[in-house]
Structure 1
Amino acid sequence: MYQKIIAEQQAILNKLNKQKTILSWTRLVLLIAAIYFFYLMLYNRDGIYGFYALILFVVFLVIVNIYIKKQEKVIYHQTLKKINEDEIAFLDGKFNFDEGKEFLNPQHAFSYDLDLFGRNSIFQFINRTGTSLGKNKLAVSLQEIPTSETISLKQKAVEELASKTEFRQHFQTLAAIANTTDKENNAIKNWTETQTAKPNKIFSILAIIFPLLLLISIIGSFFDLHPVFDKLTIFVFSLNLFAVGAFTKFILQEIGKGDKIAFSLQQYAKMIRFFNENEFESAYLKQIQEKLKNENVNANEALTELSNIFEKLNTVANLFIFIAFNGTFQYHFWVYKKLQNWKEKYLAFLWDSVSIIGEIEVLNSLANFAYNNQEYVYPTITQDKIQFEELGHPLLSKSKRVRNSIDFTNQQFVILTGSNMSGKSTYLRTVGINLVLSYVGAPIDCKSAQVFPLPLWVSMRLTDSLSDSESFFFAEVKRLKQIVTEAEKQQIFVLLDEILKGTNSDDKKSGTVGVIEKLHHLNVLGMIATHDLEVCETTYKYPQSMRNMCFEVEIIDNELHFDYKLKDGVCQNKNATFIMKKMEII
């Protein structure tokens, strides 16, 4: 499908580029001809040439306008083509999407340990957002623990959008063209939080009286009623310019607050209009559409109107428009007045409408993920079960991916053992990442799954902190304290990888057993990976709620063989000494 769309877009681009070339030459010829006839008018002092020059110049402006619209179409189809090229590259294993490094947070309960952000992360794997609104919202969504109801609603929305390829790609293209950053969005948000200055009422009176006087003087001059009307026309024209000149400081202040947000607002208006034009079946998407309606307020019309107002305000820097339009009817005063009226009517609604775009982009990204992985299934959302059948890691190659089943229904806690490189840490991340995907409403790589949204806590990637004079051991203890404190408040799901590495073996073993028993008494669900086989004896004390599982390794023909299959029991084989001997270290 992606290759088909690329071919279609290339054909359209070839046609558009030919049309642009013709238009480009046409506008050049028209401009030269208009200049030539203007020269003839001056040289021959014949007004008919000036009339021809005017007609040619008007046609030139029309052609320029058509050319600009063709260029906008070219940008659209180039962007749509690139979107599909990026998807093909992605399916070939090349991640060209934003990796979200700015969201790395070692203090977060699970995102840092599960590598949700960064190079080759789940964020980069899913992210198809074009605006910072969508990007930020996706990062937040991946770190939230929503309610069961919200997850179910999002699943239906994602499933519906996954089947609407044309909708998804058009919306994604509009977002990519917008390409807004936090700077533009902060400018919009800050603008909504400031009041528009209200100038003295005298400006409103002058904006009516002076243009009216100018109209009277022009009529008097046209009918040659009295010579004074000619001088009065020039005088009142100057008064109009003087009045707007005195008023310009208010306009410039507003433009400064807006910080060139007109283009961003235009693109957001297009995105909202397109979204609202579609009919959806899922309740969540319908809810979003309802949020974009506030009594008689239409979000896309309001945003379009605002962007047009800002564009008109920005023409205050155009000398020709400033003199011609303000000298006659104080154009920029009335545009500013229109902005004041807009704020009174829509201001409270603006930022909420813009923010919703991020939510739509998140659903669009998840739907694209679902489309690329049509064999994935949506977990059943339950009230008390977490169970996965043939669960795989989404970031591993599908051809090499080994899938394993695990059920936390009866055994609330699993102690996982295995030799070095056997897959323990990878499996912990497999469970964690798929829980995150389940929570956000995405399908996951499994045969079936049952999930309920427990707060997730992970301890896998702790490091020394020189800046805080904090040892590795103390960092571990702090994280474990956080986990225990949270478990005392509510039931949670934990993933622990070889805890207490920063202390001696006896301390480590007794400390690990102590942590496991503490979590057990707090009714915590989850897994802990360990090399200490004696820790596994803890399950004998709690056979109804604890379980030993392992990854084994075999030595065949003096080579290590891993099958990465999860088995019941305690790991029996070791490989550290074998590897060091093979590498001639010992």
Structure 2
Amino acid sequence: MYATISQKQTEILKKLSNKNNILSYSRIMLLLVAIYFLYLMMYEKNHLYGFVALALIIVFIIVVNIYLKVQSKIAYHKTLKQINTDEISFLEGNHQFNNGVEYQNPQHAFSYDLDLFGSNSIFQFTNRTGTFLGKDALAKSLQEIPTEASILKKQEAVKELSQKLNFRQHFQTLSLLAGTTEKEDLAIKNWTETISEKPKAFMQFFTVLIPILLLISIAGSVFNWHPVFSKLTVFFFTLNLLLIGYFSQHILKEIGKSDRIANSLQQYSKMLHAFETEKFQSVYLNDLQSKMQSNQKTAYQIVTNLANCFEKLNTIANLFVFIALNGTFQYHFWVYKKLLKWKDNHQLELWHFMQIIGEVEALNSLANFAYNNPEYQYPTIASNQIMMEDLGHPLISKDKRVRNTIDFSQKRFVILTGSNMSGKSTFLRTVGINLVLSYAGAPIDTKQAVVYPLPLWVSMRLTDSLSDSESFFFAEVKRLKQIVTEAEKQPIFVLLDEILKGTNSDDKKTGTVGVIEKLHNLNVTGMIATHDLEVCKTTDNHLETMENKCFEVEIINNELHFDYKLKEGICQNKNATFIMKKMEII
């Protein structure tokens, strides 16, 4: 489908390019011919040439407007073509999308340990947002622990959007054309939080009186009522300019607060219109649409009105417009007053509308992920059950992916053993990443699954901190303390990989057993990977709630062979000494 759409856009762009070239040459010729007729009018003093020149200038303006619209269409279809080209490239293994590295946070309960952000991360695999708000919404959705109801609503929305390829790509195209940064989006938020200065009432009175007096003086001059009217016209025109000069301090301050948000708002209004006018069946998407109404006006109308106000206010920098329009009827003052009225009516709604756009972008990204992986399944949501059959890691290429089944419904805690490179850490991340996707409402690589949104805590990638004079061991202990503290408050799900690596073997074994016993007593669900086979004896005391599983390795013809298949029991084979001997270290 991506190749078909890409080819169609190529054909459209070819036609638009031809039209663009014709319009480009036409506007140049029209302008040159108009200038030539103006020259003839002045040289031959024939007013007829002037009328012809005027007609040509009018046609020139029309052609320029058409040319600009064609330019916009070209930008749109180029972006749409690029979207499909990028998806083809992505499916071939080229992961070029924004990876959200700025969201990496070693203190987060699970995102850093599961590599949710950064190169070849799940964020990079799913991210198809174009604005900062969309990217931020997706990042948050991958780090939240929602309610069961919220997951079900999002699942329904993602399912529906995954089937709406045209809408998704249209919306994505608009978001990429907006291409807002954090600075630009936060400028909108900051503007909604500021209080604008309102001109004093007596000054507003003069903005009405002086233009009226100017109109009267112009009429007196035209109808030759008295010679004084021509002087009064100049006087009132000048007075108008002085008055707008006073109001300019308020206007320029408002434009300064907006910090180039007019263009962002224009693009956002198009996105709002696209979302408002689309028909949806899912409850969540309809709920979002219902929040985009205010005083019988749509969010699209409200934001468009604001964008137009800012666009008009920005013309204050145009000297010709400033003199001509403000000298006659205080144009920028009335636009500013309209802006203040808009702010009074909708100030609290604007950022809310923007956040809805971000949420739709995030859902679109997850829907695109679902569309690219039609074989993935949406987990069933059931209380206190977590089971995943034939589970695979979505970031490992499908031809190399090994799937395993894990069930925490009966025995809620697993001690996982295995030799080096056997797949323990990868399996922990496989479980964690698929839980994260499940919580976000996305499908996962499984034959079938049942999940429950337990708060997720992971300890896999801790590092020491030289700046804080903190050892690796102390960093581990701090994380374990966080996990225990959280488990004392509520049920949680944990994934622990070879904890207490920063201490000696006896301390490590004793400490690991102590942690497992503590977590078991707190009714924690989850899995711990360890090399210490003595730790596995802990299950003997909790046969109803705890079990051992392992990954094995075989040495065949003096070579290591891994099948990465999860097995019952405790790992029997070791490979560290074999590898060191093979590499002639020992």
In the superposition, the TM-score normalised over structure 1's length comes to 0.99
Task: Encode CA deviations 1:230-269: one digit per residue, 9 max, x unaligned.
Answer: 2222222222122112211111011001111111111111
Which structure 1 residue ranges, 5 or more long, are not aligned? none
SS at the partner of 2:552?
Answer: strand
- From the superposition, tell whether residues 318 and 258 of structure 1 become closer, same or farther in structure 2 (CA, over 3 Å): same
What displacement does 1:206 show?
A: 1.7
What displacement does 1:79 show?
A: 0.4
1:261 — aligned with what? 261
What displacement does 1:346 show?
A: 1.1
2:293 — aligned with what? 293
Task: Encode CA deviations 1:382-424: one digit per residue, 9 max, x unaligned.
Answer: 1110000000000000011000001001111000000000000
SS at the partner of 2:202?
Answer: helix
Q: Does 1:396 align with 2:396?
A: yes
1:28 — aligned with what? 28
1:439 — aligned with what? 439
1:499 — aligned with what? 499
Q: Does 1:242 align with 2:245?
A: no
| Worse-matched range after superposition: 386-395 or 42-51 | 42-51
Q: How does 1:352-363 map to 2 (within 5 A)?
A: 352-363=352-363
Task: Number of aligned residue pairs: give it.
Answer: 586
SS at the partner of 1:186?
Answer: helix
1:461 — aligned with what? 461
What displacement does 1:339 show?
A: 0.6
Task: Encode CA deviations 1:115-168: one digit per residue, 9 max, x unaligned.
Answer: 000000000010000000010111111110000000000000000000000010
What displacement does 1:34 show?
A: 1.4
1:452 — aligned with what? 452
What displacement does 1:193 show?
A: 0.8
Task: Encode CA deviations 1:40-86: one digit per residue, 9 max, x unaligned.
Answer: 22222333222222221121111111111100000000000000111
SS at the partner of 2:333?
Answer: helix
- From the superposition, tell whether residues 398 and 176 of structure 1 become closer, same or farther in structure 2 (CA, over 3 Å): same
Q: How does 1:56-75 map to 2 (within 5 A)?
A: 56-75=56-75
Structure 2 distance, partners of 1:122, 1:393, is 10
2:320 — aligned with what? 320
Structure 1 distance, partners of 2:246, 2:127, is 49
Structure 2 distance, partners of 1:227, 1:342, is 43
Q: How does 1:177-196 map to 2 (within 5 A)?
A: 177-196=177-196
SS at the partner of 2:194?
Answer: coil
Structure 2 distance, partners of 1:140, 1:283, is 21
Structure 2 distance, partners of 1:106, 1:94, is 27
Query: Structure 1: which 4+ aligned runs deviate by more than 4 Å?
Result: none
Structure 1 distance, partners of 2:536, 2:455, is 25
Structure 1 distance, partners of 2:498, 2:93, is 31
Counterpart amino acid of residue 287 in structure 2: Q
Q: Is the 8 A contact 1:152 1:381 kept in 2?
A: yes
Counterpart amino acid of residue 583 in structure 1: M
Counterpart amino acid of residue 333 in structure 1: F
Structure 1 distance, partners of 2:429, 2:513, is 22
- From the superposition, tell whether residues 214 and 34 of structure 1 become closer, same or farther in structure 2 (CA, over 3 Å): same
Counterpart amino acid of residue 196 in structure 2: T
SS at the partner of 1:573?
Answer: coil
Q: Aligned residues: percent identity?
A: 67
Counterpart amino acid of residue 561 in structure 1: H
SS at the partner of 1:143?
Answer: coil
Q: How does 1:289-438 map to 2 (within 5 A)?
A: 289-438=289-438
Structure 2 distance, partners of 1:462, 1:226, is 89
What displacement does 1:584 show?
A: 1.1
1:472 — aligned with what? 472
Counterpart amino acid of residue 372 in structure 1: N
Structure 2 distance, partners of 1:242, 1:544, is 87
Structure 2 distance, partners of 1:295, 1:57, is 42
Q: How does 1:78-117 map to 2 (within 5 A)?
A: 78-117=78-117
What displacement does 1:295 show?
A: 4.3
1:227 — aligned with what? 227
Q: How does 1:181-220 map to 2 (within 5 A)?
A: 181-220=181-220
Structure 1 distance, partners of 2:401, 2:277, is 41
Task: Encode CA deviations 1:310-351: one digit per residue, 9 max, x unaligned.
Answer: 000000000111111111111111101111111111112111
SS at the partner of 1:415?
Answer: strand
Structure 1 distance, partners of 2:260, 2:484, is 49
RMSD: 1.0
1:561 — aligned with what? 561
Counterpart amino acid of residue 569 in structure 2: G
Counterpart amino acid of residue 346 in structure 2: Y
Task: Encode CA deviations 1:271-297: one digit per residue, 9 max, x unaligned.
Answer: 111101011110000110111123424
Structure 2 distance, partners of 1:322, 1:48, is 32
1:2 — aligned with what? 2
SS at the partner of 1:389?
Answer: strand
Structure 1 distance, partners of 2:427, 2:144, is 22
| Worse-matched range after superposition: 300-309 or 266-275 | 266-275
1:45 — aligned with what? 45
SS at the partner of 1:230?
Answer: helix
Q: Is the 8 A contact 1:464 1:471 kept in 2?
A: yes
| Worse-matched range after superposition: 480-489 or 203-212 | 203-212
Structure 2 distance, partners of 1:326, 1:310, is 16
SS at the partner of 1:106?
Answer: coil
Counterpart amino acid of residue 210 in structure 2: F
Structure 2 distance, partners of 1:324, 1:53, is 23
Q: Does 1:126 align with 2:95?
A: no
Task: Encode CA deviations 1:533-575: one digit per residue, 9 max, x unaligned.
Answer: 0111111111111100000011111111100000000001111
Which structure 2 residue ranges, 5 or more long, are not aligned? none
2:17 — aligned with what? 17
Structure 2 distance, partners of 1:454, 1:434, is 13
What displacement does 1:190 show?
A: 0.8
Structure 2 distance, partners of 1:7, 1:455, is 45
| Worse-matched range after superposition: 225-234 or 347-356 | 225-234
Q: Is the 8 A contact 1:203 1:247 kept in 2?
A: no
Structure 1 distance, partners of 2:311, 2:203, is 22
SS at the partner of 2:341?
Answer: helix
Structure 2 distance, partners of 1:200, 1:518, is 69
SS at the partner of 2:468?
Answer: coil
